[in-house]
A and B are shown apart, each in its own frame.
Chain A
């Protein structure tokens, strides 16, 4: 694969040519924050974003996704994936996409996720501004981001564009790229290394050490109840998380007897997440207490999935920390506190 350079002055023309050929999604401003949206014009793209409200996962695994449509005649699949380019993904979100790619394809191959994923070309980009609660430099440091087709780094006067796959290579045709010089390649490496030095928050221990000690704290009910005392069970920490992948499936009917089966993001912090039917109108909730639900999330992020994923199910984006109204969700504060005890 190749490493190219495109001048800042040529970048808008590159975006325009690409947008004419294929839908392009990237970070855009929304009031005081940023979101991934389909670009309508090249100048909407905000590669200087710090973090988006929702992770790019929403393009493959939408918050509400119709799976089937049915009527008296039969059932048909609702999935209609289209080719698209997802531009401007930070490396921590690429690591999260690697995790959901694995979780939605191992054993039961989830066509409703993979259909969208397989039709998406991902261009990662360097972190120009670090968000206020980020800790991506100190979490899962052995794990490298894999699932991207190209990587874009802003340097003086333009962008270095490293292709990782044939699909990434194909994007070169949309713009006035030239081979990058060694100096430009070195500068891109320095820019990306520098971003790792700017995280405002930091885990103080390694993945293994954290996993062992957090798991050992499982039975400390007093600790978990105290940590969860202000929890609203609102599931914001789940909803904004790039590695959460739980969903609920519900049918709705139309008046004419047709209907649809839809899956929605679910979150283990919400009160009814673990509520199960016992039949005949009876039910049982196996995580009734806030402390139990709070503990479950930390266990899932720091220990339970590590073996399967090769690292923690957390990438340090800081979305949960910033999104939690009561400010109790921050994994750095929770884990550092357990490690210090």
Chain B
């Protein structure tokens, strides 16, 4: 049996998640290459492909109408599509601009009319195509991507947490940010990261997005009552990584 063909593609993003894919270290990466054939990977090789693909890993958000055809073309060629990194899964920090209209002038100044900078609202790639699996995070957790690939290679369904970060904080006995007079987004944020930020004394900012059914009304209430936020600040708190989910709620 020939090895499954895997390709990496990038859209609107910093390509930091693709760089993460080069950080496994030689041993695990060479071992992985015994089981898959990588056919396109812009940050690590010059070859590209127009052939059918078994697994397409897509990074970056959909924010230019011109990218729609390319996404659809990848979907057509790929048996399995994995959106990886927060830009591809929910729009990520690119969606921070979604409630603004003057971002092109602010960001690009005199270049703002160049055609390739003609962007609209930013969304995850599932705005355009069907996505089979999601690897969340800004940046993505490379070991989670690896686990998803290994599950698929074994014919198993990958298991992605749909519980809040509080679960992982409590498992490692992190003192709650609220108990130290701080705020946190852990109650509505998707876990799977192992909760390193609160353990280091930093609030969770939900870089893996929200859980499937976040209780945003209670979240705003707790931010106001326990962390002293104004109601407006509480309502907008989720914009950094979850602007699209806030808008939809």
Within 8 A of A (CB), among B146-167: 146-147, 150-151, 154, 156, 159, 162-164, 166-167
B214 and chain A: residue at smallest CB distance: A232
- Expressed in whole angstroms, the Cα–Cα distance for A63 and B226 within the complex equals 28
Find out whether the CB atom of B166 lies under 8 angstroms from the CB atom of A253.
no
Within 8 A of B (CB), among A256-281: 256, 264-265, 267, 270-272
Find out whether the CB atom of A235 lies under 8 angstroms from the CB atom of B163.
yes
Give chain A nearest CB distance to B185 CB in angstroms: 11
Q: Does B38 interact with chain A (Cβ within 8 Å)?
A: no
Q: Does A76 interact with chain B (Cβ within 8 Å)?
A: no
How many of B's residues come within 8 Å of A, CB to CB? 39
| Most chain B beta-carbon neighbours within 10 Å: one of A265, A272, A325 | A325
Find out whether the CB atom of A230 lies under 8 angstroms from the CB atom of B167.
no
- Expressed in whole angstroms, the Cα–Cα distance for A35 and B173 within the complex equals 7
Q: Does A229 interact with chain B (Cβ within 8 Å)?
A: yes
Give chain A nearest CB distance to B100 CB in angstroms: 30
| Most chain A beta-carbon neighbours within 10 Å: one of B151, B173, B218, B219 | B173
Find out whether the CB atom of B178 lies under 8 angstroms from the CB atom of A325.
yes
Out of A236, A254, A256, which one reaches B170, CB within 8 Å?
A236
- Expressed in whole angstroms, the Cα–Cα distance for A240 and B176 within the complex equals 12
Interface mask (A219-233 → B, CB under 8 Å = 1, otherwise 0): 000000000011111
Task: List the one stretch of A26-34, A113-121, A182-190 in contact with chain B.
Answer: A26-34
Q: Does A108 interact with chain B (Cβ within 8 Å)?
A: no
Given A33-B175, A229-B218, CB of A234 within 8 Å of CB of B163 = yes
Given A239-B171, A253-B150, A255-B32, CB of A232 within 8 Å of CB of B166 = yes
| Most chain B beta-carbon neighbours within 10 Å: one of A35, A52, A271 | A271
- Expressed in whole angstroms, the Cα–Cα distance for A252 and B226 within the complex equals 39
Find out whether the CB atom of B173 lies under 8 angstroms from the CB atom of A54.
yes
Q: Does A323 interact with chain B (Cβ within 8 Å)?
A: yes
Q: Does A326 interact with chain B (Cβ within 8 Å)?
A: yes
Q: Does B47 interact with chain A (Cβ within 8 Å)?
A: no
Find out whether the CB atom of B218 lies under 8 angstroms from the CB atom of A53.
no
Q: Does A64 interact with chain B (Cβ within 8 Å)?
A: yes
Chain B residues, Cβ within 8 Å of A270: 162-164, 167
Chain B residues, Cβ within 8 Å of A290: 215
Find out whether the CB atom of A54 lies under 8 angstroms from the CB atom of B170.
yes
Given A233-B163, A272-B163, CB of A325 within 8 Å of CB of B222 = yes
Give chain A nearest CB distance to B119 CB in angstroms: 34
Out of A31, A232, A235, A240, which one reaches B175, CB within 8 Å?
A31
Q: Which positions in B face A, CB cutoff 8 Å?
A: 28, 31-32, 35, 146-147, 150-151, 154, 156, 159, 162-164, 166-167, 170-173, 175-176, 178-180, 186-188, 211-215, 217-219, 221-222, 226
9 further interface pairs, Cβ-Cβ under 8 Å (given A33-B173, A255-B146): A35-B173, A53-B173, A53-B175, A232-B219, A233-B163, A234-B166, A234-B167, A239-B166, A253-B154
Q: Which positions in A face B, CB cutoff 8 Å?
A: 30-33, 35, 52-54, 63-64, 229-236, 239-240, 250-256, 264-265, 267, 270-272, 290, 323, 325-326
A–B complex contacts, Cβ < 8 Å, 14 sampled: A31-B180, A32-B175, A32-B180, A54-B170, A63-B172, A232-B164, A234-B163, A234-B186, A235-B166, A235-B170, A253-B151, A325-B187, A325-B222, A326-B187
